[in-house]
Structure 1
Amino acid sequence: MTRISQVIQQSTSTCTCALIVFITAGDPNLNITKAALEILDKSGVNVIELGLPYSVPLADGPIIQTASNRALMQDTNLDKILNMLNKVNLTITTPIILFTYYNPVLSRGIFTFICDISRVGVKGLIIPDLPFEESAYIAYLCDQFSIELIFLIAPTSTVTRIHKIAKKSSSCIYLVSKTGVTGMHTNKEMFINSLITKVKKITSKPLIVGFGISTLNHIRSFHQLDIEGIVLGSAFVQRLANQTIKTKLEEISEFCHAIKQITTRNSQA
């Protein structure tokens, strides 16, 4: 299967930037998660980021924290998620990134964790609290199992740290558009443009931007920047939390279509 970084770069031939959608596994249950993955795949999403529910999701805002809690109340765990992914990857082609905190990786054992997610077709991995200085072994295993380990660069990252991340990264690089946690925000952080410029001077690897991007107006602003992908999470998680199963899935499909109308080249939207 094509690498995530290649999917993101290739999407720029038809879109101004790739659409990466985050949802929480098991919220409100794994059957709906499976259906949502299939809908996102059919709706033209370029990459799907699937969150492993965790009891202390420090990088996540209240919407995703609440979703994670709901998933845990449904007894969602890694084994059940892997079983679901093993089935859904037979029917979808959109590559999946697993978003997890470091503790679940350590609890399962780093080698076992990487081996298990590779076996069910996961193509990328984001660990927001992984200490960069401790990432060598995980990066090595990801390379061996053809999983792209995606590093994050924050607005507070120094030039020295950006150089180190760019050198170690074998994939796209995730730019955090603001300080703090994920979530829905009304104002675009103006300093993201200067961060993009700074990183572009250091590396030519594709850049994706997330945290705090949730509305169509945000998309209109961000897709004009010199980036290869936009990550939306809370907006989709919130839609999956509301109303009936049919309405949930219809809403995320319609939202994907509205986003594509903005990001598709030559669109009149």
Structure 2
Amino acid sequence: MQLEETLRHKRQEKDILLMTHIVLGYPSFETNRKVVSQMVENGVDCIEMQIPFSEPMADGPVILKANQDSLAFGTTVKECMAFGAEMAATHNIPFLFMTYYNIIYKYGEERFFKDCRAAKIQGLIVPDLSPEMGENFFTLATTYQVAPILIYAPTSTDKRMETLNNFADGFIYCVARRGVTGKKSSFDQDFDSYLARCTSATSLPIAVGFGIQDAEDVACLKGKADIAVIGSQTIRLVDEKGPEAVGPFIASLR
């Protein structure tokens, strides 16, 4: 699909790519616009936009609060779709949606994919949907050419990684450690062994997320992964210093 091809092309020019994460509607769509502009202008290669859900089980306290506040502000899936279309039309990088399956189910699976395709969203990350439970989802992903991005974890067996790889497209998201987002990860020998297993299980690009917080973390991934994913840290930064602080932070990561 287009997403994998785009990332591989970008990867030829950089020693590692950067992917960032925003929660749509938090603290507002206007702030989201400013943050996305700051990210793109400072070299982000791909942006994951989270459609808020009330119980985001993979997310730590920072992203959880952002989800809950966004929903309290009245953010709708329709607004998120419109914003995604606006960003994809404005900035020349891939945009993805990340959300939980209940959102897609209630919206209507085919309608969701059709609208993603129209909005030029290139991929979907749905942490709580397994291939065994999502036959129609994966069929629609192929039909509408929206890459289903699946997740490896340190607890994944080699056999499970192989199964997930058979359904994945775009890239594989490798969770750096057990638990939820936000807590700093350590990149030790166990991590290197895990990442080697991830790499051997797929021919897709490898992204590493959960606890990537600074340039030192990104540097540790060079030569081991294709994409470093920064999530909670940019949301903290916006909360503490405002959207104008995002650009210098992103620029400092390489």
Q: TM-score, structure 2 length as denominator? A: 0.94
Where 1:54 maps in the other structure, the secondary structure is: coil
Q: Unpaired runs of 5+ in structure 1?
A: 263-269
Moved over 3 A (4+): 186-190
Matched residue, 2:232: 234
Matched residue, 1:163: 162
Where 1:53 maps in the other structure, the secondary structure is: coil
Report if the CA contact (8 A) 2:52-2:68 is conserved: yes
Identity of aligned residues (%): 25
Partners of 1:72 and 1:215 in 2: CA distance: 29
Q: TM-score, structure 1 length as denominator? A: 0.89
CA 1:11–1:135 in structure 2 vs 1: closer, same or farther (change >3 Å)? same
Bigger drift between 80-89 and 44-53 goes to: 80-89
In the TM superposition, what is the alpha-carbon distance from 1:186 to its structure 2 partner? Answer: 5.8
Where 1:219 maps in the other structure, the secondary structure is: helix
Q: Deviation string for 1:211-268 (max 9, x for gaps)? A: 11112221121224x211111100111112224xxxx232111111111xx3xxxxxx
Matched residue, 1:18: 17
Report if the CA contact (8 A) 1:105-1:113 is conserved: yes
Give RMSD over aligned pairs.
1.7
CA 1:186–1:111 in structure 2 vs 1: closer, same or farther (change >3 Å)? closer
- Alignment of 1:97 with 2:96, yes or no, is yes
Matched residue, 2:248: 254
Matched residue, 1:265: none
Matched residue, 2:85: 86
Partners of 1:17 and 1:77 in 2: CA distance: 34
Alignment of 1:1-269 (within 5 A): 3-185=2-184, 187-188=186-187, 190-224=189-223, 226-243=224-241, 248-259=242-253, 262=254
CA 1:138–1:249 in structure 2 vs 1: closer, same or farther (change >3 Å)? same
Report if the CA contact (8 A) 2:8-2:205 is conserved: yes
CA 1:187–1:79 in structure 2 vs 1: closer, same or farther (change >3 Å)? same
Partners of 1:229 and 1:173 in 2: CA distance: 10
Where 2:4 maps in the other structure, the secondary structure is: helix
Bigger drift between 114-123 and 33-42 goes to: 33-42
Partners of 2:152 and 2:118 in 1: CA distance: 28
Aligned length in residues: 254
In the TM superposition, what is the alpha-carbon distance from 1:162 to its structure 2 partner? Answer: 0.9
